[in-house]
Amino acid sequence: MNNLLRAVGVMATSALLFTSCKKGAFNDYYERPAGLEAPIYQVLTAKGNFKTLLAVIDKSGYKGTLSSAGYWTLFAPNDAAFETYFKENNTSLLSFDSTKAQALVQYLLVYNAFDKNRIDDYQSNTGWVPDIAFRRRTAYYSGFYNDTTATGQVVKTIASNRNGAALPYVAGDNNNKYIPYFTDVYFSKKKLSQQDYTYFYPGASFTGFNVAGAAVVNKDITAENGVVHEINRVVAPLLSLEEFLRSKPEYSLFRSLYEKYMVTYQQNTDATRRFALLAKEPATVFVKTFSSLLAFSPNNENFSKLQDNDGQQDSWSMIVPRNEQLRSYIENVLLEYYGKDIRNLGQLPPAVISDFLNAHMWQTALWPTKFSTTPNFLGEEARFDPATNIADKRILSNGMFYGATRVQDANVFSSVYSRAYLDPKYTMMTRLLDADLKFTINSPNQKYTLFMMPDAVLRAAGYDYVPSINEWGYTPPATGIRTAGEAVRQRLLRMLNTSLVQTPKGELDNLGGAGTIAASNGEVIRFNANQVMSGGSMDAGQTIRVDSSRTVRNGKVYYLNGLLSFSETSIGTHIQRLGAATTSEFNFFWQYLLNSAASYNAATGEIIGTSAGSFYTVFVPNNNAIRQAVRDGVLPGTPSTGVPNFAPTLPADRDRVNRFILYHILNKRTVIPDGKESGGFETLLKNGAGDVLTVTVLSQPGAMILTDMNNRSTTVLVPQSNNLSNRTVIHLTNNYLRYTF
């Protein structure tokens, strides 16, 4: 028995010795290494000039976090910074309760540790991108709050953390706020100046490392759990663009455009469950959601979130006009055709509201020295003088805010396009413009003339549109049988394009005289004594009168009493109308065409070799020129007298007639005496080798000279020319064109 006790005692002693040795080895292995910096809280304590900040940290409940393992960047206001803050805000440390203290500490606390050399690098999904970051995500977020809907209902709300209405809220994303900072390296990379900083912070100096309005006075203080940058001012949590607008009554009218027309409140189960867990009380939570028509959601702190950290390298921007200037603009511009009564705002199409708001929204940081080169969501520069038109400027948590004393004069509200867009009598024309020409005619760098197409006139002509099924219809008044589909839309687009003319020199500013001009689609229109003619209107014998006009930023619009319709009559039929009379100067050409089976289809009136949808120019030699062609042996007839033989029987003579006609038609081009198009142009005639034969055209305002392959000149007789056909213009000339076959 004694032997057993001694054995047990030896084993116990050995085990104790083994355990003691093992514990010592464990402690040696995991013991804090010598020379390792203390945690952030202890580093601040040792520095001695962060007593107030430490007191705030204590109140916030973050002492443990900043005293233990982690990986943080802390922008730390020193004691002098807090003294200034208390004085400027007429407050003291005693006013900091735990909630306010926590918000401040969280906002000064950035996820991950960044020294000055790394903080302006962007953490992209594919790796570091140097020198393009000026913001970092903080530990602070706003959370739940009470908001009031446009109908006056108070609801428990949380901000959307994504853009648009399709997926406005992602559960688990707290919509953390960002804090801005500015380094010399970043400013150099972006070609910014000190003015871009002092414009927002006029009482501060740019030092090469600033955090909001503060300067970093002691950078890269290392700690066990991160990096501290000492700053000389307290940076309180910044509001978002939406929060700032909510707090500023001087911008309430602009905000109301969002609230009434671009915001919905979507009930969210995840947010409701989370609120109940945190608040210990039940309440249905709604996500404040902004329309997908907008450039971005002003309450979204996450930027675009195309990459997790893309908010580091960019932000939103917004220029907001004050109530007085905005009201005047809304009444006199947006509501010009709605009685200039702001109570009629709800009658505007939603696109007008979204376009107006988007004209004041930038999907990027808009720096004050870059107003003229940074496009907004509509692709337009900021049309403000930063020195005289901006009364308020802030860098907020999710963007740059400018309070303006004027309105962004957007192209959609000041161009020729605006006259249809803003007028409810032109909804069909607006829809057609949106599909084809909107961005073209909105440009302020080009001048246009636009002939208006009212809904009432379009409907009287048989056209209609059914929005519910996106269908265009056409009911010819003669038949009463409706057709629908793409063919109808193409008819309307052809008329629309015929109604638009590029006029860089104001060529149509006065329609009191007479002239001819090519429209945007190549169709030719004529005007005389404030009347306008198109191929279709001339076929119908209609007189289209100018009722009134309006000059806008990039041109002029004319209000007519009809449509510039297109001709559906064949080219040959138009030549027949011009030349059927024996006294007509077009008669001899028409007689040759009529009797040329190789050139003319008498059943359809088509010239063989032409095709529907193409453009042509026909040069018709007058009767004396035809006689000369007979004398010269170019056309069949009696050379000694010049008397034509319109119906030759010999194949060779018929070929001469066919080639003669084809050489007098330019292929795929309409040219008129306007001085805009000159040069060599292809005809419909090809030689035996298959080569296209050409004619040289010299076009001048009011005159046109042609030169054939034999260097012979021909003059267009302008008073009898510019006859309109189906995508074709027909001219009379004083000589014929001679080809070499």
* Residue 337 in domain: no
The two tokens of residue 488 are 């109808």
CB neighbour list of residue 137: distance below 8 Å, 6 or more residues apart: 110, 111, 176, 177, 178, 309, 311, 312
- Single out the residue in 560, 588, 615 at which a domain terminates: 560
Give the model's pLDDT for residue 684: 98
Averaged pLDDT, 472-485: 95
Closest by CA position to 446, among listed 505, 519, 517? 505
Strands 448-451 and 555-560: parallel
Query: 666 and 692: one domain?
Result: yes
* Judgement on whether residues 224 and 88 belong to the same structural domain of the protein: yes
Are 584 and 472 part of one and the same domain?
Answer: no
Residue 170 has pLDDT above 50, yes or no: yes
One domain, residues 575 and 718: yes
pLDDT of residue 32: 59
Q: Is residue 263 in a domain?
A: no
Distance CA 616, CA 666 (A): 5
d(CA 359, CA 379): 9
CA 491, distance to chain mean position in Å, is 27
Residue 328 within a domain: no
pLDDT at residue 722, rounded to an integer: 98
Report d(CA 182, CA 187) in Å as an integer: 7
533 and 597 part of one domain: no
Backbone phi, then psi, for 73, in 5-degree steps? Answer: -120, 125
Q: What is the mean predicted confidence (pLDDT) over 308-324?
A: 99
pLDDT at 120 over 60: yes
Render pLDDT for 554-598 as a digit per residue (tens, 0 to 9): 999 999 999 999 999 999 999 999 999 999 999 999 999 999 999
Per the prediction, the chain carries an average pLDDT of 95
Same domain, 552 and 625: no
| Structure confidence by residue, pLDDT tens digits, 253-295 | 999 999 999 999 999 999 999 999 999 999 999 999 999 999 9
Q: Is residue 175 one of the residues assigned to a domain?
A: yes
- Same-domain check for residues 581 and 604: yes
Residue 13: pLDDT over 60: no
Does 381 reside within a domain?
no
Residue 276 maps to a domain = yes
pLDDT value, residue 741: 85
Instruction: Please tell me the predicted confidence (pLDDT) of residue 34.
Output: 61
- Say which CATH number the domain at 170 has: 2.30.180.10
| Alpha-carbon gap, residue 656 to 662, rounded angstroms | 10
Query: Which band of pLDDT confidence, cut at 50, 70 and 90, is reported for residue 15?
Result: very low
Rounded Cα–Cα distance for residues 694 and 739 (Å): 9
What is the DSSP-derived secondary structure letter of residue 565? P
The reply to whether 25 falls in a domain is no
pLDDT of the residue at 543 = 87
Q: Are residues 514 and 585 in the same domain?
A: no
C-alpha–C-alpha distance, residues 448 and 507, integer Å: 9
Confidence of residue 11 (pLDDT cuts 50, 70, 90): very low
Q: Tell me the residue range of the domain where 142 lies.
A: 40-245+268-287
Q: pLDDT for 246-255, tens place per residue? A: 999 999 999 9
Does 185 lie in the same domain as 65?
Answer: yes
Q: How far apart are CA 361 and CA 411, in angstroms?
A: 14
- Domain assignment present for residue 89? The answer is yes
- Please state the φ and ψ torsions of residue 127, each to the nearest 5 degrees: 135, 180
Overall number of domains in the chain: 3
C-alpha–C-alpha distance, residues 190 and 192, integer Å? 5
Return the pLDDT at 36.
83
230 and 83 co-located in one domain: yes
What backbone phi and psi angles, to 5 degrees, belong to 12? -65, -40
Claim to verify: residue 592 and residue 674 sit in the same structural domain? yes
> Residue holding tokens 């008397």?
643
Last residue of a domain, one of 538, 560, 582: 560
Tokens of 267: 């009930």
Which of 518, 535, 560 is at the close of a domain? 560
539 and 496, same domain (yes or no): yes
Phi-psi region of 693 (alpha: psi -120 to 50; beta: other; left: phi over 0): beta
